[in-house]
Structure 1
Amino acid sequence: MENSPRAGRVAAGVAASHPATAEAGLRILRAGGSAADAAVAAVLATCVAETVYTGLGGGGFATYFDAASGEVTCLDFFVSVPGTDGDRRAGPMTAVDVFFGGVPQVYSIGGASVAVPGVPAGCGEVHRRWGRLPWEALVAPAYELAVTGVALPEAHARTLEACAPALAPGDGAAIYAPGGRLLRGGDRLFHPGLASALEALAADGPALFYTGAYASLLVETVRAAGGALGPMDLAAYRVIETPVDHARLGPYRVRARHDLNRTVDTIAALPPGLADLPRPARAVAVAAALRDRGRQKIGDTTHISVVDPDGNACVITTTMGLGAAVWLPGLGVNLNSMLGEGELITDDLAPGRRMSSNMCPLVVIDESGALAVAAGSAGASRIRTALVDTLIGVLIDGLDMPSAIARPRFHVVDDTVHAEPGCPRDELDALVEAGWQLREWPEINHYFGGVTAVGVGGAAGDPRRDGVGLLL
């Protein structure tokens, strides 16, 4: 893991939650690709190397910073609710128990949990707007990984163990538990047929999944599993440009979409003199801003952060929930389970409606208008916690990026502070004195998010996900 100097322009680089993913992005930067090109290539690589977290059947968000103009753009390619065809009602979902931190979490999977996927369309739109290299070149690294398979990092193996009730049923058994044994760290993760799917994606573009050869297969597969997805749902899907929120953190401006967990609002609510507060008092102030009303689902999510030599940044977060255990036959593509994610179900959901999400890829701009940080995180309701702590570490405490991401975090749920080992004792004591309940975790855990970031202080991925940062 390399670091850039604390002062001066942010170095070009890629941060991701798998070495193969980061290498895919770096390869595109070396070939002269833009930040958008490298981010798309890395996202497609996650659909091979990080399928415990994401895939072509998922959805996501992108934030792009244009260095020449200073403009920030946020794109929504998250999943939407199916059923606009009106000719099919979804059947029941299948409930699964997933143990997380020793506590059972109930999720639902199956065809009825599948929402309209957005990852192919999102990658296509990011490339259309800001890409330089041919589309086929961006798919190539993922295709090559799909041909050989990739090593499963130890941290991903721990996630797999927790999420096996959702990932390993049906066709997932041969992929994640070959021979009846779950993959372990270092084992090869291989998806039969996925190379063929990526080869077709390179040739036909993202329309392959919406109006092309795979659209009818998608509909037939989901409906056979009890879902309501129809051809009109796919044909009508569009990437949406969303408003960009902003907040001050010291002399810096944080820019991102307005997410379900209000990340930018939380930053805006921090005391303006945060840097001058004693650390115990600061911990209490941050905990108050982070109070999270009961949401603590796992959230299988991953993130890519890229900065190119021109200072442009592209940050993309994607997810498929736990995965529906509904696979496109012969293509190695699992579909999302977002309609089975309880914390994302809102009263206004209706066919054609875009679902909400906690995902918040962001950029931070310094006083001169230049990029300071490009970052995002995995971790459902802990995304906000992980990002706020990392930004405070880099921009307020002056840590390098790897140190800021790796340091122990605490997360607030209702009146309880969940703390990783190594959180300063005087800060924890101050939280208890302020009336918070304290739950101390025995280990650094992927529950607390998975940040990847490039900026002042270097490029880094989260050790909780075996992430890496690479500089050009």
Structure 2
Amino acid sequence: MLFLRRRLVSLLVAAVSVPTLLAGCQTPAAAPSLEARSDPAGAPSIARGPFVAAANPLAVEAGMKVLRRGGSAVDAAVAVQAVLGLVEPQSSGLGGGAFLMSYEAKTGRITAYDGRETAPASATPELFYEDGEPLPFIDAILSGRSAGAPGAVAMLAMAHQDQGRLAWRDLFDDAERLARDGFVVSPRLAGMINGSSPQAKTRWATALFTGPDGRRYRTGDVMRNPAYARTVQALATEGPGVFYGGRIGREIARTVAEGPRPGGLTEADIAAYRPLRRDALCRPYRIYVICVPPPPSSGVALLQFLAMAEHTPDIRKGADSPEAWVAFGRLQRLMYADRDRYVGDADFVGVPVAGLLDPAYVAQRAALVPEIDGPVPAGAPPGSPPRSADATAEPGGTSHMVIVDADGNAVSMTTTVESIFGDGRVVEGFFLNNQLTDFSFTPTEDGRPAANAVAAGKRPRSSMTPVLILDQQGRLVGAIGSPGGSSILAYVAKALVGMIDWNLPVQEAIALPNLVVRGGSVGADTAQIPPDIAQALGAAGMGLRSNATETSGLHGAMWRDGRWDGGADPRREGVAVSEAP
């Protein structure tokens, strides 16, 4: 991929106040939009689909079929997820969790659906301890202890109940057909099946990925998964109850209870799982309003990054500016320091959301940017409780989709089984998550609790940050999101800066080199960063190393000139497809 050198196109921005930000995430009336867009009759254009961007063309086509039949964006999300769990099982699936941001065009209402997994009733802060010491991380992942009660299916069922248009039973046809008749194994899936991940080598994964000829599937092979076909058929005809209190839930509990290191997730834990509707967090950025899920998502950290960026003039110098990239890395250090210290499940711990976004605190943190040349300590936002340092390791195994239907309703959804192939355990054709390893392995330090310590029924902190972008009238103008473990925040921030500050087409913003700066760790797409920028980063204490975390898988779009300017990450296999309504 060529690094894109583009001059910043200045935005003529008047000072606009958004006095009350989104009670219930509905944008109040404001001054006329600074992004003038009109249809031929002179009325403001409405961002409509059909539009789908996701990580596999088969999943995108499943979503488009639903939209062509008059389905809603949420209907299409159900179909896309069902196919992704089959053709991209390393990243997401029925055994995982998700966050879904929905926009309803008729009312302007934004809802944050929380389908994050929960810890079982038996969980304690020492869940991953043996003999008084934390387990090695990979041993924890492969154990039965790592699986939380799956949330993706329940969350999608809740969203469908609220906003579905087609019958639930009619949303799984493509997934069932592909599982029964077979699909062509993609290069990325084949690489994961035959790669170094221990989860791909478990007895469960080996049985799933061994073909009739006795060898593991390779690129171009046709893979069938009859167990998955039966699962989605049951889900279609019996509804989500087959997971939550039904036979599939029983099979999940039975599999988790097997060795090595059996887990405590029970059938009762799974049956008791409840997804949540939450108010989204929305804040202005430049001429837009950015909306994200609240904790346990880390969306508040992304909003803090953007708020600090508004105090950092160098960030606007453009994609070819060394100063802009140095500012981008320094802002990340501040963002991650505060996120790692304070963000957790707000139903269990106090998360100082208002303090992290407090204008005076944001300005105070942003004032540090010019002098940062290494890791920075967490700040003390207003209302912050004493918290210990974080000891959370967050690998990647995630996917993102953006969907807009013909009426302008939209979904931005990030979905995951946590690590590559989750915990490596397969139930009825799908992988279980290892989401509980997203908790901090060290629950306290010097008597201070970690915000992200394990507790029964608690949701682990997540870096998943699906974004919706509005104009100042509260109209949808864009969406973006990415997989990437803890790097998700850096990837999404890069895309937003590219699209908004550097005025790049969405595909170009997504394709920009990745730079992830978290504490003393610096990862980057080193081969794609020009020497002058690499030199400037090194002089600012950000010597480049290859990115060791999961690469990005950004999917997004902006409504520009009466059409969707969409993009899919070239580092993955996804596509972005738009059709005339």
Q: TM-score, normalised by structure 2?
A: 0.72
Look at both structures and tell me which one has the larger radius of gyration over its CA atoms: 2
Name the amino acid aligned to 1:268.
A
Q: Pick the aligned partner of 1:144 from 163, 177, 182.
A: 177
Deviation digits for residues 209-257 of structure 1 (CA, Å, limit 9, x no counterpart): 1122323232223223412112321222111123322233211111001
Cα distance, 1:360 vs structure 2: 0.9
For residue 378 of structure 1, give the secondary structure of its aligned residue in structure 2. coil
Distance in 2, Cα, partners of 1:112 & 1:149: 32
Distance 1:11 1:274, change over 3 A: farther
What is the match of residue 530 of structure 2?
424
Contact kept, 8 Å, 1:338 with 1:344, in 2: the verdict is: no
What is the match of residue 252 of structure 2?
218
Contact kept, 8 Å, 1:61 with 1:76, in 2: the verdict is: yes
Distance in 1, Cα, partners of 2:123 & 2:77: 33
Deviation digits for residues 78-134 of structure 1 (CA, Å, limit 9, x no counterpart): 110013599xx999799675xxxxxxxx75213222111111101111111111000
What is the match of residue 17 of structure 2?
none
Cα distance, 1:352 vs structure 2: 1.5
Distance 1:112 1:296, change over 3 A: closer
What is the match of residue 263 of structure 1?
302
For residue 357 of structure 1, give the secondary structure of its aligned residue in structure 2. coil
Q: TM-score, normalised by structure 1?
A: 0.87
What is the match of residue 411 of structure 1?
516
Q: Pick the aligned partner of 1:57 from 63, 88, 95.
A: 95
What is the match of residue 101 of structure 1?
none
Cα distance, 1:275 vs structure 2: 6.4
Deviation digits for residues 310-349 of structure 1 (CA, Å, limit 9, x no counterpart): 2211111111123222222xx2122111223466886442
What is the match of residue 467 of structure 1?
574
Q: Pick the aligned partner of 1:197 from 220, 231, 237.
A: 231
Distance in 1, Cα, partners of 2:143 & 2:89: 17
Contact kept, 8 Å, 1:85 with 1:232, in 2: the verdict is: no
Distance in 2, Cα, partners of 1:175 & 1:438: 39
Q: Pick the aligned partner of 2:554 from 446, 451, 454.
A: 451
Distance 1:248 1:116, change over 3 A: same
What is the match of residue 416 of structure 2?
319
For residue 504 of structure 2, give the secondary structure of its aligned residue in structure 1. coil
Contact kept, 8 Å, 2:438 with 2:461, in 1: the verdict is: no
Trace 1:115-130 onto structure 2 (pairs within 5 A): 115-130=148-163
Cα distance, 1:309 vs structure 2: 1.8
Name the amino acid aligned to 2:71.
G
For residue 550 of structure 2, give the secondary structure of its aligned residue in structure 1. helix
Distance 1:416 1:327, change over 3 A: closer
For residue 193 of structure 1, give the secondary structure of its aligned residue in structure 2. helix
Contact kept, 8 Å, 2:309 with 2:315, in 1: the verdict is: no
Contact kept, 8 Å, 1:84 with 1:232, in 2: the verdict is: no
Instruction: Structure 1: give runs of 5+ residues left out of the alignment.
Output: 1-5, 98-105
Cα distance, 1:187 vs structure 2: 3.0
Name the amino acid aligned to 1:255.
C
Contact kept, 8 Å, 2:111 with 2:277, in 1: the verdict is: yes
Distance 1:171 1:436, change over 3 A: closer
What is the match of residue 232 of structure 1?
268
With 196-205 and 10-19 compared, the bigger mean Cα shift is at 10-19
Q: Pick the aligned partner of 1:339 from 415, 436, 444.
A: 436
Contact kept, 8 Å, 1:446 with 1:464, in 2: the verdict is: no
With 414-423 and 250-259 compared, the bigger mean Cα shift is at 414-423
Distance in 2, Cα, partners of 1:275 & 1:260: 22
Alignment pair present for 1:287 and 2:362: no
Trace 1:97-116 onto structure 2 (pairs within 5 A): 108-116=141-149
Alignment pair present for 1:245 and 2:281: yes
Name the amino acid aligned to 1:426.
D
Cα distance, 1:419 vs structure 2: 2.2
Deviation digits for residues 125-184 of structure 1 (CA, Å, limit 9, x no counterpart): 111111100001112221122112322322333344445311231121132344665433
Distance in 2, Cα, partners of 1:62 & 1:349: 24
Q: Pick the aligned partner of 2:539 from 408, 411, 433.
A: 433
Contact kept, 8 Å, 1:287 with 1:412, in 2: the verdict is: yes
Alignment pair present for 1:382 and 2:487: yes
Q: Pick the aligned partner of 1:207 from 241, 247, 262.
A: 241
Contact kept, 8 Å, 1:45 with 1:142, in 2: the verdict is: yes
Contact kept, 8 Å, 1:317 with 1:361, in 2: the verdict is: yes
With 339-348 and 163-172 compared, the bigger mean Cα shift is at 339-348
Contact kept, 8 Å, 2:399 with 2:482, in 1: the verdict is: yes
Cα distance, 1:351 vs structure 2: 1.7
Contact kept, 8 Å, 2:315 with 2:323, in 1: the verdict is: no
Cα distance, 1:378 vs structure 2: 0.5
Distance 1:234 1:307, change over 3 A: same
Alignment pair present for 1:307 and 2:404: yes
Trace 1:39-118 onto structure 2 (pairs within 5 A): 39-83=77-121, 108-118=141-151
Deviation digits for residues 372-417 of structure 1 (CA, Å, limit 9, x no counterpart): 2112111111111111111122222222222221222211132453
What is the match of residue 102 of structure 1?
none
Name the amino acid aligned to 2:281.
D
The count of aligned residue pairs is 452
Name the amino acid aligned to 1:236.
A
Distance in 2, Cα, partners of 1:407 & 1:73: 30
With 250-259 and 396-405 compared, the bigger mean Cα shift is at 396-405
Higher strand share: 1
Alignment pair present for 1:175 and 2:208: yes
Contact kept, 8 Å, 2:315 with 2:327, in 1: the verdict is: no
Distance 1:177 1:110, change over 3 A: farther
Name the amino acid aligned to 1:110.
S
Distance 1:369 1:283, change over 3 A: same
What is the match of residue 352 of structure 2?
none
Distance in 2, Cα, partners of 1:163 & 1:245: 38
Distance 1:111 1:315, change over 3 A: same
**Percent sequence identity over aligned pairs:** 30
Q: Pick the aligned partner of 1:277 from 312, 317, 335.
A: 317
Alignment pair present for 1:254 and 2:290: yes
RMSD: 2.8
Determine which structure has greater relative contact order: mean sequence separation of CA pairs < 8 Å that are 6+ residues apart, divided by chain length. 1
Instruction: Structure 2: give runs of 5+ residues left out of the alignment.
Output: 1-35, 38-44, 338-390, 444-449
Contact kept, 8 Å, 1:107 with 1:341, in 2: the verdict is: no
Distance in 2, Cα, partners of 1:362 & 1:271: 18
Distance 1:85 1:260, change over 3 A: closer
For residue 437 of structure 1, give the secondary structure of its aligned residue in structure 2. coil
